[in-house]
Amino acid sequence: MYISAGSNAVLSQYQDIDFSGDENLVQGSQPLLVLYLVFQISDQILLPVLIGTLVFSNGVKRHPTLINLCITWLIAGVVGSLLFYAGHQTGPEPPPDLCIIQASLIYALTPMTSTSILCLVFQAWASITNFRFGENHPIIRSATLLILPYVSFIAFGTATLILASTHTGPVNRNRKFFYCSLDNKTFGYSIAVFCGIILTATFIMEAWIAATYYKNWRTLKSSAQGQHTLRLLMLGFWIFTALSLSGLSFVRPRSPVPDLLISSSEHH
């Protein structure tokens, strides 16, 4: 019901706008913009419910890294909707300050979400393999896993802000259609490399978990831990695919598919 209402509101606001121009690097359209915004806004409705359930429900116990992953997706939804809330999603270019702020946050999102899924998968991998590093200091280990995504967020956000502030011209909405972006290929490659390293480590641990699950299929398939592990593998695979495409969008930014896929992955 909420998603339908949000879709109608977005559609009614943009139904009279001409999207036929070919000036955008990403060739967007009215339906794609509506779909993108519906994904982003519905995240901000559904994710707080999920986070509240994970935090306050006595019958649902999940590791804090899963809650942290949901929080990073919620942040991504808010950041992706900034132009919509400010009334500058379409029409003339947004004010430079607004565009710089959104671009700085946008370029920090993929490193943050990549790191958060790595921390979640690492926690699952450590529990399955009895990895003992930090075992004597569980609070410190958990705190480190929770903080790391925001360290990468602040680092890349600050770097983008510095680059965007010193070269205001290359920052605009026109380039990526859905949001403001920074036209700096070197920096885009650095983000793609960072995310590639993080996602490679994630993939290795997921493959390790999958192999362990396969070896112990008969024991795990009917257990609560086994079912949780299977769901984690499915979630991790989907998010891994979405984040991989998102990282590639920094170096090959013409397709709208990565932005839509990363938005949809927040619902899984």
* Helices 257-265 and 224-249, axial angle in degrees (round to 10): 150
Residue 202 belongs to a domain: yes
User: How many separate domains does the chain show?
Assistant: 1
Residue 18 belongs to a domain: no
Residue 87 belongs to a domain: yes
Residue 22 belongs to a domain: no
Residue 101 belongs to a domain: yes
Residue 186 belongs to a domain: yes
Contact 187, 198 (CB under 8 A): no
In this structure, the strands spanning 171-172 and 181-182 are antiparallel
Q: List, for residues 194-209, the tens digit of each pLDDT value.
A: 988 998 898 888 888 8
Q: Is 26 left (phi over 0), alpha (psi -120 to 50) or beta?
A: beta
Residue 230 belongs to a domain: yes
Answer whether residue 240 shows pLDDT above 50: yes
* Helices 138-166 and 96-129, axial angle in degrees (round to 10): 160
Q: Taking the model in full, what pTM does it have?
A: 0.78
The CATH number covering residue 141 comes to: 1.20.1070.10
Q: List, for residues 126-164, the tens digit of each pLDDT value.
A: 887 777 666 677 888 889 999 999 999 999 999 999 998
Burial readout 191-218 (b: 16 or more C-beta within 10 A, e: otherwise): bbebbeebbeebbebbeebeeebeeeee
Higher pLDDT, 217 or 170: 170
Residue 21 belongs to a domain: no
Domain range holding 42? 2-12+27-265
Give the model's confidence band at 262: pLDDT under 50 very low, under 70 low, under 90 confident, else very high. low
